[in-house]
Amino acid sequence: MSTLEEFKSYVRKMNDFRHAAGLLSWDMETKMPKKGADAHISALTTLSTESFRMSVSDEMKGYLDILSKPEERARLDEISCKMVTKIKEDYDESKNIPEDLYARYVEVTSHSQHTWAAAKHANDFETMRPYFEEIISLSKSMAHSINPDKNAYDVLLGQYEKGIDAEKITDLFDELKAGVIPLVEAIKEKPLFDESLFKGDFSKSGQEALGYYLLDVIGYSREAGRLDESEHPFTVGGAPYDVRVTTNYDLSDLRSSAFSVLHEGGHGIYEQHINPELIGTTLNTGTSTGIHESQSRFYENIIGRNYYFWKHHYDKIGEIFPQYRNIPLDVFHKGVNVVQPSLIRTEADELTYNLHIIIRFEVEKALFEGTLAVKDLPTAWHDKMQEYLGVVPTNHKEGVLQDIHWPGGMFGYFPSYALGNIYGGQFLAQIEKEVGHLDHLLAKGELDQITKWLHTNVHRHGMMKDPVQMIQDACHSSLDAKPILKYYTDKYTKLYKLK
Ligand code: ZN
């Protein structure tokens, strides 16, 4: 066997461990009997430790040393070359973090995450404060080990969104903020929409049938996936042939599950359409959290909250739940586009969601720059909520303690969500240039034309292209917040008759 063949079979084995670990975690969240937890955790730990050990082993170093030599690289095909680059990046990163530092980080974040649920429930920020302080300090040290020449927050951002730093995000978000806030303000002047008519009894089985229907409509393959129930919706992939999505059912309002299915379905069809040649290479997954969110948000919001999309599918809801036959389509359309400033990010609408993310980004950045101390976090949060959304939490549960990301050590993750909206706007603008206007395509029932464009320009590449490159190649432009702002302005001006 050549070195390349040996390297590939070594990586495939690592991938197999990860594949099995992914399915075990899926099982823990969906089907596992209560008493199965200990055995699952034990198996998961073994598999994760083993695949991590393989990724930093001397054997791995040996392969990478040989295959990274310029004369060897020159002989590699495109996929193998990218494989070597990506795996070497991971190797260098993991190798540079001192073992005791990493062990401390894992220990602190698991305690912190565990403590968080109770602290949130008890509205107790003081218990979480020392955790946040230590996690930030450990994250700074780890970032410094990874790249001593870059500032720590940029290193963390780069782990989720390669090639994009805080300065770039600040520019994009300032523009987004400047466009979104006046729209939200203008909508606030309009009468409140009565959502009570959407409340009722909606069986789990009916909602599941609707979920599968919607997944079929957007082109999610049931032969390469399935829909299950979990506490928090997620997508887990052994892409492209086993990509599972989950949802959570609100038995009094079907909108929650319907839109979370469209969201996870967007993640799902991304993974299901990754080039099968990438199987076993570690490149068979979405290229970044931001690009992933661009796909889920595209189907949830840009497609799923469009009037013309539902023109073809609204009757299905009435077929399953006859009480919906009394709700006209245009009322339903308004009911899934209610814009109203609120406290909880995960429940926010398409428009104000961006502001929730921008607040988190600005606060994180200040924490890492040292211009904000953890003890002042609740005040900073309060002030920004007031300034951008005009609503303020009266407790930490609905304020700084609402998300699991910071207790879990995921500083630098939040921007991905709003970057996903920005990327989605750019994809939409390009689709409208190349394929046709969104409303016209959906009115003609040609969602598949849109999806086909996304398969070609986004999905199939897996990790072969980094986000900035992907946007450049697909949209012939650099990152730009204008397209999503144009979409928001056109849509909400019309819907709320703002002019
Ligand atoms: Zn998502």
Over residues 202-238, the pLDDT tens digits come to 999 999 999 999 999 999 999 999 999 998 899 997 8
> Kindly report the CA angle at 496 between 300 and 267, in degrees rounded to 5?
5
Binned average pLDDT, 10 residues per bin, the chain of 499 residues? 95 94 91 90 87 92 97 95 96 88 88 90 97 97 95 96 97 98 96 92 98 98 97 91 97 97 98 97 96 98 98 98 96 96 95 98 97 98 98 96 94 97 98 98 98 98 97 98 98 94
Cis peptide preceding 483, ω within 30 of 0? no
In 116-216, at which residue ranges do the beta strands (DSSP E only) sit?
A: none
Amino acid at residue number 404: I
Read off φ and ψ for residue 93, nearest 5 degrees: -60, -50
Q: How far apart are CA 493 and CA 337, in angstroms?
A: 12
Residue 8 Cα to ligand 1 middle (Å): 31
* Element housing 34 (H / E): none
Q: Are 355 and 184 in contact (CB under 8 A)?
A: yes
Read off φ and ψ for residue 446, nearest 5 degrees: -110, 45
**Order of strands across the sheet that contains 242-247:** 227-229, 242-247, 235-238
What pLDDT is recorded for position 2?
Answer: 93
Read off φ and ψ for residue 99, nearest 5 degrees: -55, -45
The tokens of 175 are what?
């523009």
Read off φ and ψ for residue 344, nearest 5 degrees: -100, 120
Q: Are 274 and 6 in contact (CB under 8 A)?
A: no
Residue 104 Cα to ligand 1 middle (Å): 29
> Kindly report the CA angle at 471 between 469 and 472, in degrees rounded to 5?
60
Q: How far apart are CA 451 and CA 268, in angstroms?
A: 13
Which residues are bridge partners to 242 per DSSP? 238
Residue 267 Cα to ligand 1 middle (Å): 7
Q: How far apart are CA 366 and CA 302, in angstroms?
A: 32
Residue 159 Cα to ligand 1 middle (Å): 17
What pLDDT is recorded for position 106?
Answer: 85
Residue 411 Cα to ligand 1 middle (Å): 17
Which residues are bridge partners to 416 per DSSP? none
Cis peptide preceding 233, ω within 30 of 0? no
Residue 138 Cα to ligand 1 middle (Å): 27
What pLDDT is recorded for position 110?
Answer: 85
Report residue 98 CA to chain centroid gap.
29
Distances in whole angstroms, Cα of residue 484 to Cα of each of 66, 146, 348, 430, 473 = 45, 34, 17, 12, 18
Q: How far apart are CA 265 and CA 468, in angstroms?
A: 24
Residue 151 Cα to ligand 1 middle (Å): 28
Distances in whole angstroms, Cα of residue 162 to Cα of each of 260, 282, 290, 359 = 27, 16, 10, 21
Residues 6 or more apart whose Cβ sits within 8 Å of residue 219: 269, 447, 448, 451
What pLDDT is recorded for position 499?
Answer: 84
What pLDDT is recorded for position 228?
Answer: 97
* Element housing 391 (H / E): none
Query: What is the set of active-site residues?
Result: 264
Query: What is the widest separation between alpha-carbon atoms in the chain?
Result: 71
Pairing label, strands 235-238, 242-247: antiparallel
What pLDDT is recorded for position 340?
Answer: 96
Q: Are 471 and 477 in contact (CB under 8 A)?
A: yes
The tokens of 350 are what?
């398409």
Report residue 251 CA to chain centroid gap.
25
